[in-house]
Structures are given as C-alpha cells and as structure tokens.
Amino acid sequence: MEPNTLLDSLLDEAGISHAGLAAHVNEAGRARGLALRYEHTAVARWLKGQRPRGQVPDLICEVLGERLHRSLTLDDIGLGSPGGTRLGGTPLSGFVERATALWRSDEQQRPHVIAARTVTGTPAVIPVWEWENPPEDGDVSRDGLTKVGRADIVMLRAARAHYEQMYRKAGGVATRTRVVGFLNSEAAPLLRGSYSDATGRQLHRATGGLVAIAGICAYDSDAHGLAQRYFHQALRLAKASGDRGLGGYVIALLVNQSLFLREYRQAVAFAESALRSAGARITPALAADLYAMQAKAYARLGDGRSALACIRHAERAAGRISRGQEPDETGYVQPGLVNVQVAEALLNLGDLGAAREHATAAVGSPAHDRGRVHRLAMLTHIELRQGDADQAVATAVEMTEQARGMESQRLRDRLRAVREHLVESGCAVTSEAAELIDGALRVPL
C-alpha cells in the first residue's frame, strides 16, 4: 500500500485529529442513514494506504471540504482511481500537490511515510517506463501567486550543491531533515507559483536535483520506501524539465538502490533504459557509472561475459570524462569511482588479483570523505580474501578513522561488513581492528 500523504496533509491543514475525522465521518454518515463506528485506528489505516469502503471516501471529502471551505474531490484526498495501472504518463496537474504532501509528511516525521515499504514489480517499473516513453509535457507553465524568476532558480541550484556537500561530509541522517525542510519552505511555494514554460522547465529541473538529494539522504538513512518515492518524484520532475540527462542521473540512483536491495535484474534493466533513452544527452561520467553498476549486477547474476563487456564500456566512458563538460549532478563520479565499482564486480567473479589492482587504484585517487570509506572497505575485503591480513588491518584502521563523525547507515553497513570479514579471517592480528570498528559502531546515530 502507498501512504496517503495527500489525506495526511489535508488533515494537518484542517487542524483535525484522527479521532476527530472519524467522529465527523460517523456523524456525516448518520445524515445519510449509515451506521458507522469508525475510530482513530481506522484513520491511521487510511493514512497507511487502505481505501475505506462504500460512501466513506465521499464523506471524507464532505467533512474536510466543509472544514477548509472549499470543494474536494477523491483525487484531492488521495482516494481517486482505485485499482488499475496507468501507463499514459503522470500529468503535471496534481503532481505538485502530491509531491509537496510527501515532503510535508516527511518533515513532520509521519511514521507511515518514513516506514513505507519499497514497491516492487510493475509499480517500481512504471515511473521509469513513463520517463522513457511519450507523451512529453508540451507546456509546463503555471499561474500562481508567486512570480518565479532567474534568482529563484539560482537559489535552488545553490541549495542542491550545498546539501550534496553536507551529505558527503556528515551523511544522510544529518542532512535529510535540512534538505526536506528547504523543499517545504522554499521549493514548494515556487512550484505553486507563476512561471512561463521556459522558466518552468528550469524550475522543475532545479527542484528535481534537490528532490534527488532528499532521496539519497533517505536511502542513506535506511528509509528505502521513502527514498524510492523521492527518486520517482525526481524522475517526473526531470521529464517535465525536458532534460534527459537529469533523468538518466535519477535512474542511476534507482540502479544503485536496486543493487543494494539485491534486485539485480531490475538494476540491469533500469541502467539499460537510461543508457538507451538519454542518448546523446548522457555524459561520459554518467555512462561510466551506469555501465559499472551493470557490471556489478551481471557479476551477481553469474553472467561473467556480460559483466566483462560492461567493464570495458565503463572504462572507455571513464576515459572520455571532461570535468568542464559535466553537469553538477555527475560530480560524484570522481577519479577512482569506476575502479572501485569494477573491483567489486571482479571480486564477485573471483578474479582477486585484478580486483585488488582496481581497488588499490581507487584508494590512490582523490575522493570525497564517504567515497574514500567505501573504497577502503572494498580494498580491505579483497586483501583479506587474498590472505594479506597485516595489510588488511592497516587499511581497515584507516577506513574506521575516516568514517568517524559521519551519520550514515550505509557507512555503518560497510563497517559491520568489514568487521565480519576481519573476524571470519581467524587471524590474531585482525582482532584489534575489529575492536576499533566496534567502538565506532557504538556511537549512536
């Protein structure tokens, strides 16, 4: 079930509690000859995504509409079009309200939103399918109260860069509340504002970049269902902007999440969609990352031939990267990133020598703080697999020191995995490094 963030937002706007809504719905039902006995627990289920039966959705529209002094439809309260799968593209009308409702619920720490499960199967594929296929948005202009101008777009772009750097240094746990707060206070009013088609496309692009950062931070906080919804929003904003390259970047985030969730076939398919659909708009850095992640997925699937082919594509694309020609979003594809991705693929293929060569090259290349932790973790794992316990301990110690102060579930996952590998090695020299990691993990997020 999908959390009903629209209904949650309207309840907040109306200043009505769960128990209050239930009581008002029961009262409105009696006026129609219905014997309803809803309590606050029923409203909680509706917010989690359960659809109330019979006339109750209409009663909710009636109750909230009277409270807010405006007419509400089933779509307005998140209860329209039950069942069926839509494959005609998500219209922009209504998207802004749905998107901002999610941001609002996230900022308010609504449990049914933060704990939402990831969708799988068709619901997971539809946003990618819609991005890749017609219809396109012919006109994204809007009439609103706030006039959106060039300075607003510049502000959003600067905010994206700021929060990305904060994420890299402090981790997603500390950054998420800040970027979501910014989306609510600054981006939401602009999306509801007044702008031409040209300005609107820039606005949707800049907002899409920020929403993608919110998704990255949710992913880094272990809120995978929420992260997926942010990525899907960012993909819809990318489509509205007309920037295929931005869409390809967002799909790369979905590919990375699919790998973490062990949805390897989905990772391959999503990467292929981005590579195919972005076309000439895909930059060498993004292509290199997509091919490298495909290689990891193929390696996990046991398809060595396809994995090696993707490695060759990734290395060729990496050789064409020119920093002055890349958008801000692909700045994460730093020197050595492809090396560490390739190292992981080769490790899973059993080629330890080549894997260590690539991992060593990755560690020897400049990287932001959290990227360096991941590279050192990969090198530690390979060194242990090769029986080089002394060097693995030195690498693990450096990794642990680098990770201190970062609030990130993904980095904690890395530390735990390295600790397990150290313990499993059975070498006496690894115990000190394992204890050092234990100390780092005891620090709560």
Convert the pLDDT of each residue in 376-389 to its tens digit.
999 999 999 999 99
Rg (CA), the chain: 24
Which residues share a beta bridge with 194?
A: 147
How many residues are recorded in the chain? 445
Residue ranges of the alpha helices (H) in 192-328? 197-220, 224-241, 244-260, 264-278, 284-300, 304-318
Residue pLDDT tens, the chain, 445 long: 788 998 998 998 899 999 999 999 999 999 999 999 999 999 999 999 999 989 999 999 999 999 998 888 888 898 986 544 444 455 787 888 889 999 999 999 988 899 999 999 999 999 999 999 999 999 999 999 899 999 999 999 999 999 999 999 999 999 999 999 999 999 999 999 999 999 999 999 999 999 999 999 999 999 999 999 999 999 999 999 999 999 999 999 999 999 999 999 999 999 999 999 988 889 999 999 999 999 999 999 999 999 999 999 999 999 999 988 899 999 999 999 999 999 999 999 999 999 999 999 999 999 999 999 999 999 999 999 999 999 999 999 999 999 998 999 999 999 999 999 999 887 878 888 999 999 999 888 6
Instruction: State residue 85's pLDDT score.
Output: 41
Answer yes or no: are the C-beta atoms of 251 and 270 closer than 8 Å: yes
Nearest to 136 by CA among 74, 72, 73, 91: 91
C-alpha–C-alpha distance, residues 215 and 219, integer Å: 6
Helix (H) / strand (E) element for 252: namely helix 244-260
Percent pLDDT > 90 in the chain is: 84
**pLDDT for the residue 84:** 40
Instruction: Give dist(CA 59, CA 25) in Å, integer.
Output: 6
Instruction: Give 147's strand partners.
Output: 194
Least Cα distance to 342 among 329, 326, 360 occurs for: 360
Two structure tokens written together for 341: 């991705």
> Alpha helices, DSSP H only, in 74-114?
95-107, 111-114
237-254 residues labelled b (16+ CB within 10 A) or e (exposed): bbbbbbbbbbbbbbbbbb
CA distance linking residue 336 with residue 288, whole number of Å: 11
For residue 195, which phi and psi values (nearest 5 degrees)?
Answer: -160, 155
Q: How far apart are the first and last CA of the chain?
A: 29
Amino acid at 197: D
Question: What pTM did the predictor assign?
Answer: 0.87
Give the residue from 245, 5, 234, 205 showing the smallest Cα distance to 104: 5
Cα–Cα distance for residue pair 169/377, rounded to 1 Å: 17
The tens digit of pLDDT for each residue in 245-277 reads 999 999 999 999 999 999 999 999 999 999 999
